[in-house]
Amino acid sequence: MKEIENRSDIEKLVYTFYSRIRKDSLLGPIFNQHIPEEKWPEHLSKLSDFWETNLFGIAKFKGNPTQKHINVDRNLNYTVEQKHFGQWINLWFQTIDDLFIGERAQKAKDASRNMASAQFMMMFRNRPQTA
């Protein structure tokens, strides 16, 4: 076990994690439906940028994850639930625990929990109002 020290470590974490996501019975169908096979390398690179920005403060990530999550929820007829984010966090924590230790590993866990809550709330707030 080692600490998260560089971009290569982040890529190992992201690639391992999303390999697990794609096979997961709850999350796999969602991710595989919304990201075409040929777009996965680009997506994983962008997610590695995201985590490199978050864990090392290196400003590489460009994008709007909130809008992406809102779009996915809309495409799924507003059926994304807290259980989806809970499963995402569980798999993220398991992947981190399988690969890394240390302060940045804990920072990745803490950040993911905060982001998952914020993303779900933004999705929920952007759902159509029902009478």
pLDDT at 18: 98
Where residue 97 sits, what CATH number does that domain have?
A: 1.10.490.10
pLDDT at 65: 87
The model's pTM: 0.92
Please indicate, yes or no, if residue 131 is contained in any of the structural domains. Answer: no
Q: d(Cα 123, Cα 115) in Å, to the nearest integer? A: 12
2, β-bridge pairs: 100
Q: d(Cα 94, Cα 103) in Å, to the nearest integer? A: 16
pLDDT tens, residue by residue, 43-97: 999 999 999 999 999 888 888 889 999 999 999 999 999 999 999 999 999 999 9
Please indicate, yes or no, if residue 130 is contained in any of the structural domains. Answer: no
Over residues 1-26, mean pLDDT: 97
Nearest to 65 by CA among 118, 10, 14, 7: 118
CA 77 vs. chain centroid, Å, equals 21
Please indicate, yes or no, if residue 19 is contained in any of the structural domains. Answer: yes
pLDDT at 131: 55
Q: Based on the structure, what is the number of domains in the chain?
A: 1
pLDDT at 19: 98
pLDDT at 61: 86
In this predicted structure, the answer to whether residue 102 has a pLDDT above a threshold of 90 is yes
Domain carrying residue 45: 2-125
Q: Which helix (H) or strand (E) is 100 found in, with range?
A: strand 100-101
